[in-house]
Amino acid sequence: MAVKEFGWQAKAPAPPVPGAVFTGYETVLSHGTRTGSLSRLIALLLLTHYDGLLAAGRGDGDEAPAQPLQGVLPSDLAGCRIEAEKLPFGGGVEIAVLNGDVDEVAFQLRPPYFDPGAAVESHDGSCDADVYQAGLCHVSSPLALHGSARAASGQKRRVFGAAMRLLRVGPRGYGRLADDMQRIALILFAVACAFGQPAAYDQPYRPQYHFSPSEHWTNDPNGLVYFDGEYHLFYQYNPFGDVWGHMSWGHAVSRDLLHWQELPVALAEENGVMIFTGSTVIDARNTSGFCANGKPCMVAVYTGHTPRSAEHTTLQTQNLAYSNDHGRTWTKYSGNPVLNLNMPDFRDPHVFWWEPTRRWIMAVSLPNEHKVLFYGSPDLKAWERLSEFGPAGATGGQWECPTLTEVLVAGDPRQTRWVLKVGLNPGGLQGGSGEQYFVGNFDGARFTNGNPPSTTLWTDYGKDCYCALTFNGIARGELPIMIGWMSNWQYAAKVPTEPWRGQMTIPRRLQLRKAPEGFRLVQEPVEAVQRLRGRHFTWRGVNAADLNRALKEKIQGNSFELRSTVIPGVAREVGWKLLAEDGKYTTAGYGNGAVFVDRTQSGVTGFSTDFPARTAAPLAIGHAPLELTILVDRSTVEVFAQGGQVAMTNLAYPPEGARRIEFYSTLGKPGKITVDVWELKSTWK
């Protein structure tokens, strides 16, 4: 297996840079979707695993030639995968220190993602900018490799201990270093593959069947696309910490929308330009000229955000990058930007192919004007303005993340409408960020709203679904698939999770349902969730006390699917207490003509006064039974009522051990209750 397939790129060494000290690098080793603390140590070991990767003095003044980081990955290690991730240097365990006479060593890392001033420190500032950006920098003595080795208990702790003992090499031990490192790397590689789920994906609040990055901050999903059997999820990502900043596109792939494999950063902040939200298309006709070897390629269309500085004001422009290896490596277009209005707020392009006029369509927001602009292009490079939409609906905050999608009407596969979804921050229905949608028609140039401009339709009635996007590349005739960011800008930087902050909603299928007042969006979890079902509990009856006894005896959990049908009868309110323990719980139910989720008593809520909340959605059911599908995943509660007529997404942070499920009613007894509960298996195991 060639090195480049694993993200390493061999180049001729650049001219030496005197006086530079290399103190950081990015790479992580993992098996499938698994990453963790063992991976961090193995990544360090890999630096010396290849023949000639590191040339160090043998002691006694013996000289050794400098060698670049290049070579071929041994075939016996092909069962695991190398992925990009920033390692936290400083304050950790000292893995190895080479502080003798070391000749210049050329490090060639791809994709590099250095934090300026932290990853590479130059004593004399002589690290040339071009060399730096290429990920090519020579270093001289001393060379220190440090890492944070947060070992788990038991077998992992013993492995770390043995590895660190073997790595305590003195100045005269350099001659044995490469051999020792190679042997340890081989052993730990096998151990990492055998361990299964690392601790990194098993923290108390870590969702087990929703995507979240192994560590650091994430917000909006970006560039969702299906291509050659893989669903690609790009997302706003800070490779350097768990708060917003250094925005780049993280990247994960899946074949079923649930089992995700985290890949290296796809598009990195560069030259002071952050990578904001956008979309990815498959250029099957090579209209862009970016595709190689007569095959389709992936093209990302994204907002470049240049923050305000002493030299210039804030600027947002639309840009391109392309990939000819299924998104594993990317090249930014040398002609960027392709669309520039010289504005500080002009962002979040959604792009798709319009076959009748054989051109690309872009929907992009003017946030402060509460408008969505539409552009057309034959080649993704030259854009012509076609029309605009807005203001309309809710205008209490900036408009962001527009998505224009053709959606089937339920019961009539020949009938469709176009749904224009727009994010709003602040000004969401429940406070903070939220999303609205418009239903109408699109003729290839202009979107026409099918409702009065004052009509406001909300995509999700909870507090924690924002910037939801649909996948490009889904076959015509299939129901579109949408994923959103599961958080709210009111408190996203404060939620009590580590080492990650931010996660995605469950992927949802979309269709429209004809109601007396017009077409309304319907959302349901993707069918792949059913394949995660494990232990099953089922109950039918009218006695709530009997139901709760059976629930307590037969099933408890914090990652499960609950489907219930309840006739409210004379009860004022009916519902479910979820993630219950010691008087703390999150409720999901129905009362006073509304579906609701109440997390005011859910557990940990004090990190923000905006977090404790009861969210509600009007829902008239008449004498029909209340139908609820509820997905719970440690810190997430997603409710779909009446077959997806209402969707409501909320975070919750329950106390330790909160696993009980209880049914309740107030001021009267309900009628017949039907419930099925399935434990859902972790997708990280």
Tens-place pLDDT, residues 208-242: 999 999 999 999 999 999 999 999 999 999 999 99
Q: Which two tokens stand for residue 458?
A: 């909300």
The predicted structure's pLDDT at residue 200:
67
The predicted structure's pLDDT at residue 283:
98
* Residue showing tokens 């977090």: 611
8 Å CB contact between 672 and 551: no
Angle at 253 between CA 279 and CA 281, to 5 degrees: 25
- Model pLDDT for residues 116-164, shown as the tens digit of each residue: 223 332 223 333 322 222 222 222 222 222 222 222 333 333 333 433 3
Picking from 562, 513, 543, 550, the residue whose alpha carbon sits closest to that of residue 678 is 562
- Model pLDDT for residues 120-131, shown as the tens digit of each residue: 322 233 333 222
d(CA 350, CA 452): 24
Q: Strand order of the sheet with strand 500-501?
A: 260-267, 248-254, 230-238, 216-227, 500-501
Point out the residues of the chain with pLDDT beneath 50: 1-198
Length of the chain: 685
3-class SS at 226? strand
Active site residues per annotation: 220
d(CA 450, CA 3): 54
Q: How many CA atoms lie within 13 A of 64 on its CB side?
A: 19
Picking from 591, 533, 595, the residue whose alpha carbon sits closest to that of residue 562 is 533
8 Å CB contact between 20 and 123: yes
Q: Which two tokens stand for residue 441?
A: 């028609």
Helix ranges (H only) for 94-235 are 129-133, 155-166, 174-195
The predicted structure's pLDDT at residue 199:
61
Q: Tell me, what DSSP letter sits at residue 487?
A: S
Picking from 361, 381, 400, the residue whose alpha carbon sits closest to that of residue 321 is 381
